[in-house]
Amino acid sequence: MVLGRKSVVVVDEVGLLGTRQLNAIMEAQAEKGFQLVMIGDPKQMQAVEAGPVIELLRRAMGADKVPELGTSVRQKAEEERETVLMFRNGQTEEAVRRKDANGTLRIVPGGYEEAVAHVAVLWRERLEANRDRPDFSMSVSAPSNAEAHDISLAIRQQRWTMGEIGGNQITVKATDGEGAREYDLSLAVGDRVRLFRRTNAKFMDTGTVGNIGRNGSVLEIIAVAAAGLTLRNGAGREGAVAWNTLRDAASGRVQLAYGDALTTNTAQGTTVTEHIHAMPGGTKLVSAFGAYTSGSRHREQSFIVTSEGAERAEVIARRPLGDRREIERGDLLNNIIRNFAQAPEKEAALALIDRAVGLRRGAVQAMQRVHRAAEVLGDVRDRPSMLAEGLTSRRVAQAFAEILPGLTAQLRRHGGALERVARIGAEVAELLTRVAHRPLVNRQVEAEFWHRVGERGQDLRDHEEQRTQTRQHGR
Of 457 and 149, which is predicted with more confidence? Answer: 149
Report whether 232 contacts 189 (CB < 8 A).
Answer: no
Mean of pLDDT values over 156-182? 88
Q: Residue 51 domain-assigned? A: yes
Mean of pLDDT values over 209-219? 92
Same structural domain, 320 and 467: no
pLDDT band, very low/low/confident/very high, at 426 (cuts 50, 70, 90)? low
Most confident of 22-36, 85-99, 429-443: 85-99
pLDDT for the residue 329: 94
Same structural domain, 165 and 295: yes
**Which of the residue ranges 218-222, 226-230, 398-402 would you say has the lowest mean pLDDT?**
398-402
Q: Which domain holds residue 28?
A: 8-65
Mean of pLDDT values over 209-216? 92
Mean of pLDDT values over 187-213? 94
Q: What is the pTM of this model?
A: 0.67
Most confident of 227-236, 350-359, 371-380: 227-236
Same structural domain, 331 and 395: no
Supply φ then ψ for residue 263, to 5 degrees. Answer: -70, 160
Q: Is the pLDDT assigned to residue 298 strictly greater than 90?
A: yes
Q: In what order do the strands lie in the sheet with 138-142?
A: 105-108, 298-307, 272-279, 138-142, 262-263
Residues in the chain, overall count: 475
Q: Is the pLDDT assigned to residue 416 strictly greater than 80?
A: no
- Total domains present in the chain: 4
Same structural domain, 275 and 357: no
pLDDT for the residue 450: 61
Supply φ then ψ for residue 40, to 5 degrees. Answer: -170, 175
**Which of the residue ranges 42-51, 87-96, 176-185, 234-243 would you say has the lowest mean pLDDT?**
42-51
pLDDT for the residue 311: 97
Mean of pLDDT values over 460-473? 62
Report whether 26 contacts 53 (CB < 8 A).
Answer: no
Q: Is the pLDDT assigned to residue 411 strictly greater than 60?
A: no
pLDDT for the residue 129: 96
pLDDT for the residue 433: 59
Most confident of 40-49, 126-135, 348-357, 366-375: 126-135
Q: What percent of the chain has pLDDT over 70?
A: 73
Q: Residue 3 domain-assigned? A: no
Taking each helix axis as running N to C, give the angle between helix 443-474 and helix 387-413, from 0 to 180 degrees, rounded to the nearest 10: 10
pLDDT band, very low/low/confident/very high, at 376 (cuts 50, 70, 90)? low
pLDDT for the residue 338: 95
Cα angle value 264/266/269 (rounded, 5°) = 95
Q: CB neighbours (10 Å) of residue 269?
A: 13
Same structural domain, 254 and 273: yes
Q: What is the average pLDDT value for the chain, to the nearest integer?
A: 82
pLDDT band, very low/low/confident/very high, at 447 (cuts 50, 70, 90)? low
Q: Residue 333 domain-assigned? A: yes
Same structural domain, 28 and 135: no
Mean of pLDDT values over 53-70? 76
Same structural domain, 300 and 428: no
Same structural domain, 334 and 351: no
Q: Is the pLDDT assigned to residue 421 strictly greater than 60?
A: no
* Three-state secondary structure readout of the chain: CCCCCCCEEEECCHHHCCHHHHHHHHHHHHHHCCEEEECCCCCCCCCCCCCCHHHHHHHHHCHHHCCCCCCCCCCCCHHHHHHHHHHHCCCHHHHHHHHHHHCCEEEECCCHHHHHHHHHHHHHHHHHHCCCCCCCCEEEEECCHHHHHHHHHHHHHHHHHCCCCCCCEEEEEEECCCCCCEEEEEEECCCEEEECCCEEEEECCCCCEEEEECCCCEEEEEEECCCEEEEECCCCCEEEEEHHHHECCCCCCEEEEECCCEEHHHHCCCCEEEEEEEECCCHHHCCHHHHHHHCCCEEEEEEEEEEHHHHHHHHHHHCCCCCCCCCCHHHHHHHHHHHHHCCCCCCCHHHHHHHHHHHHHHHHHHHHHHHHHHHHHCCCCCCCCCHHHHHHHHHHHHHHHHHHHHHHHHHHHCHHHHHHHHHHHHHHHHHHHHHHHCCCCCHHHHHHHHHHHHHHHHHHHHHHHHHHHHHHHHC
Of 452, 449, 411, give the one whose Cα is nearest residue 433. Answer: 449
What is the rounded CA–CA span in Å between residue 200 and residue 202? 7
Q: Residue 23 domain-assigned? A: yes
pLDDT for the residue 441: 47
pLDDT band, very low/low/confident/very high, at 407 (cuts 50, 70, 90)? low
What is the rounded CA–CA span in Å between residue 216 and residue 418? 108
Same structural domain, 220 and 267: yes
Same structural domain, 102 and 142: yes
Same structural domain, 179 and 284: yes
Q: Residue 242 domain-assigned? A: yes
Same structural domain, 363 and 288: no
Give pLDDT tens digits for 2-36. Answer: 888 888 998 887 777 778 888 888 888 888 888 88
Give pLDDT tens digits for 132-146. Answer: 999 999 999 999 989
Q: Is the pLDDT assigned to residue 50 strictly greater than 90?
A: no
Report whether 151 contacts 275 (CB < 8 A).
Answer: no
Q: Residue 95 domain-assigned? A: yes
Q: Is the pLDDT assigned to residue 270 strictly greater than 90?
A: no
Of 316 and 433, which is predicted with more confidence? Answer: 316
Q: Residue 71 domain-assigned? A: no
> Contacts for 435-439 with beta carbons within 8 Å, 24 or more apart?
435/392, 435/396, 439/383, 439/388, 439/389, 439/392
Q: Residue 2 domain-assigned? A: no
